[in-house]
Amino acid sequence: MYLRGLEKEDLQYLHKLMNDEEVMELARFRPDHMISMEGLEKEYEDELKQESGHRRTFIIVDNQSSKPIGWASMRWWRPFSTSTELGIAIGEKDHRGKGVGTEVVGLLTDLAFDQYNMHKAEMFTRQTNRAMLGAAEKNGYKVEGVLRETIYFNGKYHDGVMLGLLRSERTSKIPKA
């Protein structure tokens, strides 16, 4: 698989994926978790103009079918930030658990350090998300802390985990497809 920039034509795909119950639960920590097509279009326009914070969204594409299989993102909070938060969701369930997530974390991490000149890359996930923790840890990310009952979903609070990797710790590069 490979990453490419988000195109307007991808929004329909993202709309379906981001409103998927499981993806909402695991990968979107918003008060209402759902997003409308209009909301996505606004986010897309804002991202182009870099108006609402700073974010780059990528589409994960399957090499063989050339079809999107998920999205990945890189977000930073101030214009001259030296650390960035990475996000990833593989929408097509039959692509999960086969190493794609590990590879995408590797590609995003390389982008963060080699192209965006970041000093540190971070990831945040639910404590029970073994696949995300595994993909991050296989790329050298270390658990920096547990944020107790910080995620609210389906009437319950859930613990979150913050993971981080310094540029100096990035040793093994994942072979690129």
Ligand X SMILES: CC(C)(COP(=O)(O)OP(=O)(O)OC[C@H]1O[C@@H](n2cnc3c(N)ncnc32)[C@H](O)[C@@H]1OP(=O)(O)O)[C@@H](O)C(=O)NCCC(=O)NCCS
Q: Is 177 in the site for ligand X (CB under 6 A)?
A: no
- Strand 83-90, strand 120-126: pairing: parallel
Q: Is the CB of 17 or the CB of 40 nearer to ligand X?
A: 17
**Which residue of 1, 14, 60, 100 would you call a contact of ligand X, by CB under 6 A?**
100
Q: How far is the CB of 9 from ligand X (least distance, A)?
A: 22
**Which residue of 1, 18, 24, 88 would you call a contact of ligand X, by CB under 6 A?**
88
Q: Is 98 in the site for ligand X (CB under 6 A)?
A: yes
**Which residue of 59, 89, 108, 112 would you call a contact of ligand X, by CB under 6 A?**
89
What is the 3 state secondary structure string of 57-97? EEEEECCCCCCEEEEEEEEECCCCCCEEEEEEEECCHHHCC
Q: Residues near 94 by Cβ (< 8 Å), separated by ≥ 6?
A: none
**Which residue of 131, 151, 162, 174 would you call a contact of ligand X, by CB under 6 A?**
131
Q: Is 3 in the site for ligand X (CB under 6 A)?
A: no
As a whole number of angstroms, the distance between CA 10 and CA 23 comes to 17
Residue with tokens 């000149």: 117
Q: In the structure encoding, which two tokens stand for residue 128, read together?
A: 């029970």
Contact set with ligand X (CB under 6 A): 23, 26-27, 88-90, 96-102, 125, 129-132, 134-135, 138
